[in-house]
Amino acid sequence: MIHTRKALWRGAIAVAAVAGFVTSAAAQMELKIMAPAAPGGGWDQTARSMQQALTQSGLAKSAQVTNVPGAGGSVGIAQFVNNGKGDGNQLMVMGYVMVGALLTNKSPVTLDQTTPIARLTAEYEALVVPADSPIKNAKDLAAAVKADPAKVTWAGGSAGGVDHIAAALFAKEAGADPTKINYIPFSGGGEALAAILGGKVTVGISGYGEFESQIKAGKLRLIGITSATKLPGIEGASLKDQGINLEIANWRAVVAPPGITADQKKALTEVVDKMAKSKEWTELLKAKGWDDSYLSGDAFTKYLADDQVRTKDVLMSVGLVKS
């Protein structure tokens, strides 16, 4: 009781403190951050975490989050590029899923039309099997996939998304035909997780965070993670350490509208740079369990361009994109 009241007071003081900051730094930016997805998803949470970090650290006077859901971000990016042209106060959260979605949806608007600002977070993919599965490690899975790719059923997120791409790359590395994989897309993480727990499919693939509590409870067995080496705090080897050359991360980033001036781009990059170093942002990353993979400037621009080419190759090899 006393504890609760104290917490509330602390909250009230924090709110007051934020309000104080805002008035004292009136000259700062008023940002609009678009999350091209419905409330609740990863992009929305990233946008709202940015909002929180930017306003609480006093880097921005205000930050308003808007949701424009639809088709892996295809609807959002179209609005962002058309309405935001030349506006140096707008940002849009995006990620690896959008790269694939724009390709499979044959979107008329592409990421080349946006102004890349920075990559913020990354989450590695985890491959899991039910606890009673005969598959013990990545080698076993590779052998099963090689023997008959159709018999190994994969449960993951939407078709053409990062889970699907990782599954296809795994089959390729295992020496099987990636177009033959039996990948079953589920909407939302929950449904796929239920199918894996219920033993309906051979293997599940998704971001590590989705499986974490089930792995710790011993209901799922982690057989590999798509990072370069073993990650601290995760009990389980990477696929690379098990001899399967597969490295892929589901990253999230922010971009600005097209047609902004070099000065505007510089100002936005600076704000995001500072935010990424702020105490508030680091705390949020820790609370959400996101890996910091900060990359800005030209390095990020190049990364984005390279990843688009790589993704297109993979999607073509799986048959999801024709040309």
Partner 1 sequence: MEAFVSLAHGLTIAIEPMNLLFALIGVLLGTAVGVLPGIGPALTVALLLPITFKLDPGGSIIMFAGIYYGGMYGGSTTAILINTPGESASMATALEGNKMAKAGRGGPALATSAIGSFVAGTIATLGLAFLAPYLVDLAVKFGPEDYFALMCVAFVTVSATFGDSPVRGLTSLFIGLALGLVGIDILTGQSRLAYGVPELFDGIEVTTLAVGLFAVGEALYVASRRHIHEEKLEPVRGSLWMTKEDWKRSWKPWLRGTALGFPIGALPAGGAEIPTFLSYSAEKRLSKHPEEFGHGAIEGVAGPEAANNASAAGTLVPLLTLGLPTSATAAMMLAGFQQYGLNPGPLLFAERPDLVWGLIASLFIANTMLLVLNLPLVGLWVRLLAIPQPWLYAGILVFATMGTIAANPSPVELMMLAGFGILGFLMRRFDYPIAPVVVGLILGPIAESQLRRALSISLGDPMVLLQSPFSATLLTIALIALILPFALKGMGRFKAVED
Q: Which helix (H) or strand (E) segment is 115 a member of?
A: strand 115-130
Shortest Å distance, C-beta 300 to partner 1: 25
Region binding partner 1 by CB under 8 A among candidate stretches 91-99, 138-146, 151-159, 248-256: 151-159
- The structure tokens listed for 37 are 């997805």
> Quick one: CA dihedral 305, 307, 313, 318, positive or negative?
negative
Q: Which helix (H) or strand (E) segment is 165 a member of?
A: helix 162-173
* Ranges within 14-33 binding partner 1 (CB under 8 A): 14-15
> Going by DSSP bridges, is the β-strand pair 249-256/115-130 parallel, antiparallel, or unpaired?
antiparallel
- Complex with partner 1: residue 93 or 239, whichever CB lies closer: 93
Instruction: Confirm or reject binding of residue 201 to partner 1 (CB under 8 A).
Output: yes
Q: State which of residues 43, 45, 119, 144 lies at the interface with partner 1 (CB under 8 A).
A: 45
Q: State which of residues 28, 32, 41, 241 lies at the interface with partner 1 (CB under 8 A).
A: 41
SS (H, E, C) 252-263: EEEEECCCCCHH
- Cα-flanking dihedrals φ and ψ of residue 94, to 5°? -150, 180
Shortest Å distance, C-beta 159 to partner 1: 3
> Going by DSSP bridges, is the β-strand pair 153-156/203-207 parallel, antiparallel, or unpaired?
parallel
Shortest Å distance, C-beta 54 to partner 1: 11
Q: State which of residues 57, 113, 137, 153 lies at the interface with partner 1 (CB under 8 A).
A: 153
Cα separation, 239 vs 256, in Å, equals: 35
Helices and strands (H and E) in the chain: how many: 11, 10
Reduce the DSSP state of residue 60 to 3 states and report it.
strand
Q: Which amino acid would we find at residue 303?
A: Y
* Ranges within 263-302 binding partner 1 (CB under 8 A): 286-289
Q: Which amino acid would we find at residue 228?
A: A
* Ranges within 207-226 binding partner 1 (CB under 8 A): 212-214, 216-217, 219
Mask for 49-88, x = binds partner 1 (CB under 8 A): --xx-------------xxxxxxx-xx--xx---------
Interacting residues toward partner 1 by CB under 8 A: 1, 3-5, 7-8, 10-11, 14-15, 38-41, 44-45, 48, 51-52, 66-72, 74-75, 78-79, 104-108, 150-151, 153, 158-160, 164, 182, 184-191, 193-195, 197-198, 200-201, 212-214, 216-217, 219, 286-289, 320
